Amino acid sequence: MQSFRALGRHLDLIPAAINRQLSEIDIARGRQEAFARQHPAALESLQQAALIQSVEASNAIENITAPKKRLEEIVAQKTTPRNRSEAEIAGYRAVLDTIHSSAAHIPFTANIVRQLHRDLYQFAAQPGGNWKVSDNIVTEERPDGSVAVRFTPVSSYETPGAMDELHQRFNETWEADHHHRLLLAGAYTLDFLIIHPFADGNGRMSRLLSLLLLYEGGYEVGRFISIEKLIERSKETYYDALAGSTVAWHEGEHDLQPWLSYFLGVLTAAYREFEPRAAAVTSGRGSKAELVKTFVRSNISDSFTFAEAKRAAPGVSDEYIRQVLRQLRDAGIIEGTGAGRGAGWHRLRRDF
């Protein structure tokens, strides 16, 4: 709630770089909406690919995984969970489906957040839907095996009041419409993460709530491009941005800009990926080549695998993807790395 206590300090003077991001996103949003109206059936394959990627990526960030075939069966609701990881994956898929189908009709209240968390754990042995009852900390494991504290969340005692205040202040500013709604969505996500209101599932809930706010604000690219996948690809940048905006948050002296820049950067990348993917499902081989090239050009990380390129190009054959990657390699745009199962690609430049 700290970001909303002094919102003017954070949002009244927005850096030019963030204004440029907002402008690009708003222009791309208009193109995406027009394409969705003109080719609704053609986008169904993108929606299915994005659904699988979102469920897989958001859980993988928290080290919750399942074999690919099992994950696809769970997402398609063709099987029931067999273990804890599969139960949490199934819960994420259920909440994501609720947001996809009903975002416009979901009131954004603290109680709704608890209900969505309850649904996230509907298949798990431990029920969800309750605020944490003991204090928690957010840590990271360093390469040498030591554990460091990323940040200290709001105490369990203060959490109910903090969530009520966050939602009251957020909804007031959302309705007032004095600030760009993407900035408000980003500010909410940061405050939610630092409050860390649940004993478990806070990261996944933050991504679900971000998507809900984007949909309520009219930014629906997440239906066709997995925003969670983009976050997974840029996980280190995600943590760097979070670190840059958590310092002095409890005192209300934090800097919201690092987090907003990252938040908008992910959304920008999603819209940049949407156009060539949408064109590829309605056009020929030239568009399919551009689909692969756009993934290479816009991928947040310089390193990527063939599997990632394949997931970014639904409907494009493996051999054709390999052909395009070889062409980019021969042009000095990417280079191969590793061998065997560890093989991958590294981007050398974006200007192509």
Q: Give domain limits for the chain.
A: 2-282, 285-352
Distance CA 103, CA 204 (A): 17
Distance CA 77, CA 91 (A): 11
> Averaged over 40-44, what is the pLDDT?
77
- For position 282, what pLDDT does the model report? 67
Q: 303-304 and 344-347: which strand pairing? A: antiparallel
Is the pLDDT at 141 greater than 60, yes or no?
Answer: yes
Is the pLDDT at 286 greater than 60, yes or no?
Answer: no
Is the pLDDT at 204 greater than 90, yes or no?
Answer: yes
* Least confident piece of the model among 110-119, 149-158, 186-195, 301-310: 301-310
Residue 325's region, left for phi above 0, alpha for psi from -120 to 50, else beta, is alpha
Distance CA 114, CA 106 (A): 13
> Averaged over 270-288, what is the pLDDT?
76
Is the pLDDT at 42 greater than 80, yes or no?
Answer: no
Is the pLDDT at 203 greater than 90, yes or no?
Answer: yes
Distance CA 31, CA 26 (A): 9
Is the pLDDT at 142 greater than 90, yes or no?
Answer: no
Place of tokens 């139960």: 87
Q: Which CATH class is domain 285-352?
A: mainly alpha
- For position 22, what pLDDT does the model report? 96
Percent of the chain with pLDDT over 70: 97
Residue 4 contacts residue 191 (beta carbons within 8 Å) = yes
> Confidence class of residue 117 from pLDDT cuts 50, 70 and 90?
very high
The average confidence (pLDDT) of the chain is: 90
> Confidence class of residue 283 from pLDDT cuts 50, 70 and 90?
low
> Confidence class of residue 242 from pLDDT cuts 50, 70 and 90?
very high
- For position 284, what pLDDT does the model report? 54
CATH homologous superfamily of 2-282:
Fido-like domain (1.10.3290.10)
- For position 296, what pLDDT does the model report? 85
DSSP 332: T
pLDDT digits (tens, 9 = 90+) for 74-86: 988 888 999 999 9
Q: Output the six-digit token pair for 196.
A: 């860390």
pLDDT digits (tens, 9 = 90+) for 299-335: 767 888 898 888 777 778 889 999 999 999 999 999 9
Is the pLDDT at 128 greater than 60, yes or no?
Answer: yes
> Confidence class of residue 292 from pLDDT cuts 50, 70 and 90?
confident
CA distances from 11 to 18, 262, 339 (A): 11, 15, 48
CB < 8 Å & 24+ apart, contacts of 281-286: 281/39, 281/42, 281/43, 281/45, 281/46, 281/314, 281/315, 282/39, 282/42, 285/320
Q: What sections of the chain are H helices per DSSP?
A: 2-5, 7-11, 16-38, 44-61, 68-75, 84-102, 110-120, 159-176, 181-195, 202-216, 227-233, 235-246, 257-280, 285-298, 306-311, 318-330
Is the pLDDT at 287 greater than 70, yes or no?
Answer: no
- For position 83, what pLDDT does the model report? 94
- For position 336, what pLDDT does the model report? 92
E-strand stretches of the chain: 138-141, 147-151, 303-304, 334-337, 344-347
Q: What share of the chain is helix, strand, coil (3-state, %, to 5)?
A: 65, 5, 30
* Least confident piece of the model among 14-18, 47-51, 282-286: 282-286
Distance CA 29, CA 33 (A): 6
Is the pLDDT at 350 greater than 90, yes or no?
Answer: no
Place of tokens 């395009």: 324
Is the pLDDT at 264 greater than 80, yes or no?
Answer: yes
Higher pLDDT pick, 100 / 43: 100
3-state SS class at 303: strand
Residue 193 contacts residue 136 (beta carbons within 8 Å) = no
Q: Which residues pair with 315 in a beta bridge?
A: none
Residue 167 contacts residue 114 (beta carbons within 8 Å) = no
Q: 147-151 and 138-141: which strand pairing? A: antiparallel
Identify which of 230, 234, 281, 205 has the alpha carbon closest to the alpha carbon of residue 47.
Answer: 281
